[in-house]
Amino acid sequence: MQISLIATGKTNAKWIEEGIENYSKRMSRYGKFKYVETPHLKSKFAKADSKVVMREEAVLQSKFLEGVDFLILLDERGKVYDSVQFSKYIEKLQVRGLKYVAFLIGGPYGFDPSIRERANATWALGPLTFPHQLIRIFAVEQIYRAHTILKGEPYHHP
């Protein structure tokens, strides 16, 4: 099963880029994993209404979702898992025979309704609000952790 983590907009924090690269490389042991950033639109639409920005982001996001069998939005209203529960969720997706699962991190205003309608699930990293830049590294680390749990590797210490 191929997994992608798609983030809306670019990050300019070197330490976040390095962390994502680190966990992305580790993920290669477990199958196809790809981290993607969409072009950044906020400055282009700085004075636009949030709905306009979300609609334009949806156009870009859709281009990166081609071929996706199962779409999971990272959303503050999504389902919250602990790490073991999340690993079991990943396992269920693998058993279903899905070929391509994508996790999508939205922009600062969230997701356009067209993207929400397309999604199969939502996932929240907890009740706290995090900057979109940090969510990237948290998400890729949790996806990596889930795979180490499924393989019985010592990375996760219950």
| Residue 108, domain CATH | 3.40.1280.10
Within a domain: residue 43?
Answer: no
86 touches 142 (CB < 8 A): yes
What count of other Cβ atoms lies within 10 Å of the Cβ of residue 107? 23
Q: Answer whether residue 68 is part of any domain.
A: yes
Report pLDDT for 42: 60
Asked, for residue 84, whether it belongs to a domain, the answer is yes
Domain membership flag for residue 11: yes
* Domain count within the chain: 1
Check residues 109 and 3 and name the one with the higher pLDDT: 3
Asked whether residue 44 carries a pLDDT value surpassing 90, the answer given is no
| pLDDT score for 48 | 74
Domain span holding position 107: 2-37+49-150
In a domain, 121, yes or no: yes
Predicted confidence (pLDDT) per residue in 45-89, tens digit: 666 788 988 999 999 999 999 999 999 999 999 999 999 999 999
Residue 98 lies inside a defined structural domain of this protein: yes
Average pLDDT over residues 109-116: 95
Residue 43 has pLDDT above 70, yes or no: no
pLDDT at residue 156 greater than cutoff 90: no
Tell me, what's the pLDDT at 53?
87
Q: Which residues contact 136 (CB under 8 A, 6 or more apart)?
A: 5, 7, 11, 16, 20, 35, 105
pLDDT of residue 39: 85
pLDDT in tens, 8-42: 988 889 999 999 999 999 999 999 999 999 987 76
> Is position 44 within any domain?
no
Amino acid at residue number 153: E
Q: Which long-range contacts (CB under 8 A, 24 or more apart) does 94-97 make?
A: 94/1, 96/70
Give 77: exposed, middle or buried? Use CB within 10 Å, 0-12, 13-18, 19+.
exposed
pTM, to two decimals: 0.94
In a domain, 80, yes or no: yes
